[in-house]
A and B are shown apart, each in its own frame.
Chain A
Amino acid sequence: MATLLFWLIAVILVASALIVVGARKIVHSAIALVAVFAMASGIFLLLNAEFIAIVQILIYAGAVTILILFALMLTRTSNQNEITNPNSKGWWAALIVSALVGAGVIFASTFTHSTTALLGNIEPSYGTNTCPFPTNNVAYIGTLLYSPSCYSYVLPFEIASLVLLVAIVGAIVIGRED
């Protein structure tokens, strides 16, 4: 069942990613991008990561796609029949480079067995801080991100909020009219 679901989602995911890359009108690419994000969210659900699946829908399929559609609306060309998503002159070089990178990564991830051997001997170096972790994935991630009493990601979380603040200010400063 899970395997069937995986193949279904994977085929739709790769097909819509190919539509994003290959469509002649860029609005069609943007619509196919929604399908890519939704199917990636399905992959996250298969991997028991409910929180990331929902965040994926909210941020990517909601916010980023709407942002891209607004940018498309604001940068529209006047000619209706023009190809709005053209390839550059050296697209075949890009094809070769991406095929080589993909072949390398697939080879490395399929034909090597060293990852588990590398990770096998690592012992926890911090103290025996036993916190009761909830079984719910969302509550689990919340405990990891916010609770300073346990081993947590509070400092990276605060730095991420700073990054978002700088990005907001930067986007306003760059995009304003003057």
Chain B
Amino acid sequence: MHPTLTHFLVLGAVLFCIGLYGALAKRNAIAILMGIEIMLNAVNITLVAFSFYNTVKPYSEYLTGQIFAIFIITVAAAEAAVALAMIISIYRKRNTVDVGEINLMKW
């Protein structure tokens, strides 16, 4: 017996909220980035699971979920590169990566 769609959806949801907690609760900017990567991975798992269990004809034939996952991976890689460049740039100017101390635009 293969696991059902609900198994993968619940796994994706659990992983998503772990990543959400990491992105919200951490002070190190790189830890926040790690939380975002975990969230994107959870969404990818959900999309690929939908693609696997989908039986509706046009969508299952064109693998919509897997193509979406590929584009999410692409954008996530670009996002990680830009975010790490920003973190390194901030570290060079202010000597910290603590998001509580980066408060130049705080009102």
List chain A positions with a Cβ less than 8 A from chain B: 2-3, 6, 10, 13-14, 17-18, 20-21, 26, 29-30, 33, 36-37, 40, 43-44, 46-49, 51-52, 55-56, 59-60, 63-64, 67-68, 70-72, 74-75, 84-88, 90-91, 93-95, 97-99, 101-102, 105-106, 109-110, 119-120, 122, 124, 133, 140-141, 144-145, 151, 153, 156, 160, 163-164, 166-168, 170-172, 174-175, 177
Contacts and interface: CB of A to CB of B under 8 A. Distances in A.
Contacts, number: 226
B56 to A, nearest CB: 5
B10 A120 contact: no
Grouping DSSP codes into helix (H, G, I), strand (E, B) and loop, the B interface class, with mixed when no group exceeds half, is: helix
Contacts of B100: 88
Contacts of A13: 11, 15
Grouping DSSP codes into helix (H, G, I), strand (E, B) and loop, the A interface class, with mixed when no group exceeds half, is: helix
B2 A98 contact: no
Given A17-B18, A21-B22, A141-B63, A167 B13 contact: no
B10 A85 contact: no
B48 A33 contact: no
Interface range for B:
35 or more
A71 B85 CA distance: 8
Interface string B49-84: 101101011110111001101110111111111101
30 contacts: A20-B34, A21-B22, A26-B28, A36-B38, A40-B41, A44-B44, A49-B66, A51-B70, A52-B66, A56-B73, A59-B77, A60-B76, A71-B87, A75-B91, A88-B25, A94-B24, A94-B25, A98-B20, A98-B21, A102-B16, A105-B17, A106-B14, A109-B10, A119-B54, A120-B56, A122-B56, A144-B62, A163-B74, A171-B82, A171-B85
